[in-house]
């Protein structure tokens, strides 16, 4: 508003001032482009836009394929209609060199030229007109024309469009899965949902609201099928409750608090990850080295004892 008043006030000023005002107005309008940054934080909108952009190449080749189909069938049907109209004129006038002229208004509406025939074919598969309405005047022309029209519908609707739809869906899904930001947002949302579900589960187990769960409370809670199915869906076995309790109880206090329950279930959730397997192998390697060092120490002690015992026996 200030810029509008200023531009009005200096209406009699020179052109350079007006150019400055226009430049400022354009810069102000370009600030609206910042709205595009919302795409980074709205996962659904971002997925939709990326899917549309990623299918642009498939859309181009699909349009090219459809244009080739439209042109091929349009040439055949238009030529067939043109020969029919020429024969009608020859019979009517007796002139073998008569130009083709269609008396039927339906033929003039749908099949007068190649371009109009392409438009008719496009409208027939896109819902613009009923394809039977376009095929009806071809019955008088030739059975071959009717067969070509039916063949076009079968090829485009039942083959091409279905295949193209599958390609579009596959491309959109692959683009959404390959986007790192979307994958991160989905993983964060999944993790938050899982944490909230585990907190609700902990509150159901903690009947006395003491913010800690004992082994007996866990055993009693796992008698309910709902909780058992929930834990099994996370990939956590509930067959051995004692082992499960000892694994979750990190501080070995005999009680499980909310943080221990959530962190323990998150670590046990799903199959073993590569990092966890690497950690297990590393710990096994350390234990093996420790055992080997103990075995070497024992062997050295045995050798030392084997030397000292005969010496003492000789001196005695």
Tell me the pLDDT tens digit for each residue of 4-57: 444 555 454 455 556 666 666 665 655 555 555 555 556 667 677 777 777 788
Structural domain ending residue among the three candidates 177, 211, 231 = 177
Same domain? For 136 and 111 the reply is yes
Note whether residue 303 is domain-resident.
Answer: yes
Judge if 66 and 151 occupy the same domain: yes
pLDDT score at 121: 93
Report whether 244 contacts 208 (CB < 8 A).
no
Considering the domain boundaries, does residue 93 fall inside one?
A: yes
Burial class (CB in 10 A: 0-12, 13-18, 19+), 225: exposed
| Mean pLDDT for the stretch of residues 278-285 | 72
The CATH number of residue 65's host domain is: 1.10.287
Total number of domains in the chain: 4
Q: What is the pLDDT of residue 19?
A: 65
Q: Is 137 exposed, middle or buried (0-12, 13-18, 19+ CB in 10 A)?
A: buried
DSSP label at 154? Answer: I
Whether residue 289 sits in one domain with residue 208: no
Question: Would residue 42 count as lying in a domain?
Answer: no
Q: Which residue has the higher pLDDT, 271 or 51?
A: 51
User: In this predicted model, which residue has the larger pLDDT, 104 or 187?
Assistant: 104
Residues in the chain: 316
The pLDDT confidence band at residue 265, using thresholds 50, 70 and 90, is confident
Q: Note whether residue 66 is domain-resident.
A: yes
Rounded to an integer, what distance in angstroms lies between the CA atom of residue 120 and that of residue 111?
8
Residue 212 pairs in a beta bridge with 257
* Closest to 124 (Cα-Cα) out of 91, 97, 150: 150
Q: Which domain holds residue 33?
A: 2-37
Q: pTM to 2 decimals?
A: 0.49
Cα Rg of the chain (Å, integer): 40
Average pLDDT of the chain is: 77
Is residue 208 domain-shared with residue 156, that is, in the same domain? no
Question: In this structure, what DSSP letter does residue 294 have?
Answer: H
Rounded Cα–Cα distance for residues 44 and 21 (Å) = 39
pLDDT digits (tens, 9 = 90+) for 48-93: 777 777 778 888 888 898 899 999 999 999 999 998 888 888 887 7
Mean pLDDT on 191-212: 82
């Amino acid at each position: 508003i200030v810029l509008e008043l200023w531009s009005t006030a200096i209406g009699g000023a020179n052109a350079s001032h007006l150019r400055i005002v226009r430049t400022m107005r354009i810069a102000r309008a370009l600030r609206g482009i910042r709205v595009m940054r919302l795409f980074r934080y709205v996962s659904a909108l971002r997925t939709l836009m990326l899917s549309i952009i990623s299918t642009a190449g498939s859309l181009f080749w699909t349009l090219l394929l459809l244009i080739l189909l439209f042109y091929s069938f349009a040439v055949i049907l238009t030529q067939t209609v043109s020969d029919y109209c020429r024969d009608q004129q020859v019979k009517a006038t007796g002139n073998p060199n008569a130009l083709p002229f269609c008396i039927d208004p339906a033929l003039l509406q749908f099949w007068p030229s190649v371009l109009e025939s392409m438009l008719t074919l496009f409208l027939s598969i896109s819902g613009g007109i009923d394809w039977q309405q376009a095929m009806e005047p071809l019955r008088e022309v030739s059975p071959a024309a009717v067969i070509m029209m039916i063949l076009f519908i079968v090829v485009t609707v039942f083959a091409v469009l279905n295949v193209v739809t599958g390609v579009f869906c596959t491309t959109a899904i692959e683009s959404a899965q390959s986007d790192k930001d979307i994958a991160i947002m989905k993983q964060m949302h999944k993790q938050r949902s899982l944490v909230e579900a585990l907190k609700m589960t902990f509150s159901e187990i903690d009947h006395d609201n003491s913010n800690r769960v004992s082994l007996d409370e866990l055993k009693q809670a796992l008698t309910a099928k709902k909780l058992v199915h929930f834990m099994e869906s996370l990939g956590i076995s509930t067959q051995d409750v004692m082992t499960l309790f000892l694994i979750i109880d990190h501080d070995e206090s005999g009680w499980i608090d909310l943080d221990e329950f959530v962190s323990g279930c998150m670590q046990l959730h799903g199959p073993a990850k590569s990092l966890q397997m690497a950690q297990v192998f590393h710990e096994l390697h350390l234990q093996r080295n420790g055992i080997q060092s103990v075995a070497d120490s024992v062997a050295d002690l045995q050798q030392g004892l084997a030397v000292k015992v005969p010496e003492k026996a000789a001196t005695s």
